[in-house]
Structure 1
Amino acid sequence: MGQKAIDTFRACIPLFQALSDPYRQDIILLLAGQEPLTVNQITENLTLSRPAVSHHLKILREQQLVSLEQKGTQRFYSLALKDATSLLKELVETVEAQCE
């Protein structure tokens, strides 16, 4: 396998780690079907505490899977998958090229 494929896989590790948690998956799915939500709104839909939801949102933000918008005193979270999908597409294309 070429160095590009290895580098692309390595670049995806933090993304895969963020996506591997079932609670973070739940948050992503919740945000996928909604307008932007606050931490409290997300917490109301999950079986997690507010601090736990905030922790998971921080990890998702670090991997650019969600974005944050401040409106007054409230923070609204929404999906921001563009960078993640680009990285995953690059990984798939790189692996496919290795298989040819």
Structure 2
Amino acid sequence: MGKQALEQFRKCTPLFQLLMDPNRQDIILLLSEHDALTVNDITEHSVLSRPAISHHLQLLRQQGLVEVDKRGTERYYSLTLGNAVESLKELLSLVERDCL
């Protein structure tokens, strides 16, 4: 494997680890169906507790997959997958170029 591909793999590792969790997958898919949702909205569609949802949203925010918009006392969460998708596309391109 080429050095660039390996470096990109390492760069994507936190994203892969984050996406391994089925609960976070569910949250991402739910958010993909809506412009923005509150923690309470997400909790209504989940078997997880509100604190658990908040924890998963925090992890998703840290990796740049979700952003939060504060409106009054409510926080609305929405997807921001652009950078993650670009990183994965770059990885696939490098693997295709260097490994196939």
TM-score, scaled to structure 1 = 0.97
Give the SS at the match of 1:36: coil
The answer to whether structure 1 residue 32 and structure 2 residue 66 are counterparts is no
Residue 52 of structure 2 is matched in structure 1 by 52
TM-score, scaled to structure 2 = 0.97
For 2:69 and 2:89, how far apart are their aligned partners in 1? 27
Superposed displacement of residue 2, structure 1: 1.6
Q: Runs in 1 of length 4+ with deviation above 2 angstroms?
A: none
Residue 42 of structure 1 is matched in structure 2 by 42
The answer to whether structure 1 residue 2 and structure 2 residue 2 are counterparts is yes
Residue 85 of structure 1 is matched in structure 2 by 85
**Per-residue deviation, residues 32-89 of structure 1 (Å, max 9, x unmatched):** 0112000010001100000000000011111111111111111000010000000000
Long gaps (5+) in structure 1: none
Long gaps (5+) in structure 2: none
